[in-house]
Amino acid sequence: MTHYATGRLLLTPVDRDGHVRAERLRTLGLGERADTSFDSFDAFADRVAEVTSTPYSMVNFIDENRQFFAGLHTPAGNRSGADLGAAAAGCHRSGRYMARDHGYCPHVLVRRKALVLEDVCDYPRFAGNPVVDEIGIRSYLGAPLIDRTGVALGTVCAVDTVPRPWGRPGLATIKSLAQELIGQIDRREAPRR
């Protein structure tokens, strides 16, 4: 078993598709560099925050070792991730990268199913994640981005610092947003095919 330095049990799921996903992300030109223009993903993250009425939302691509917020909405609107507690949460390079064992998106990715956590503290598996103490995350709503080839590229998610009653409407909303975004990614790739 692996533990965090704090003694907490590391409960990030094993990702057997990381290599395939990393290759697919490279093919699509996604998730590699923070200096790439991702304005459309930032705009999409803004829309997710607006639709879900949350202070934070992300379009997150995950390779074998880390998470990359290609789209990022924060309350300050600065896109750097600084107000996301980036440094404390294992992030680096402009706050758009986060360690793979932080947060809940890796769970969504491996499960290939949406995840609704109205209060992360209600679930021992999720309450011990570093984002709870270091960033103050209390609720999470995320869905996988599964492309036309069947590869789960990442997630779209909304998070809040207070518990949220997402319910079935929240689940339907995040799944619909994920489908919309994967359609945009597919259209972006179409000219290359």
pLDDT one-digit tens code per residue, 161-180: 999 999 999 999 999 999 99
Tell me how far the alpha carbon of residue 171 is from its chain's centroid: 15
| Strand boundaries in the chain, DSSP class E | 56-62, 66-73, 97-99, 115-117, 139-146, 152-160
Between helices 167-189 and 18-28, what is the axis angle to 10°? 60
- Whether 70 and 57 have beta carbons less than 8 Å apart is answered as no
Tell me how far the alpha carbon of residue 4 is from its chain's centroid: 21
- pLDDT by 10s per residue, the chain, length 193: 344 444 545 567 788 888 999 999 999 988 655 545 678 999 999 999 999 999 999 999 998 888 899 999 998 776 655 555 543 344 444 568 888 888 899 999 999 999 999 999 998 888 888 888 778 899 999 999 999 999 999 999 999 999 999 999 999 999 999 999 999 999 888 766 5
Give dist(CA 6, CA 96) in Å, integer. 24
Domain segments of the chain as ranges: 18-187
Contacts (Cβ under 8 Å, ≥6 apart) of 146: 112, 152, 153, 182
Give dist(CA 52, CA 21) in Å, integer. 28
Strand 139-146's sheet: what is its strand order?
97-99, 66-73, 56-62, 152-160, 139-146, 115-117
| Strand boundaries in 76-130, DSSP class E | 97-99, 115-117
Query: 18-187 domain in CATH 1.10.10.2160?
Result: no
What is the model's pLDDT at position 92? 46
> Residue 189 CB: number of other CB atoms within 10 A?
16
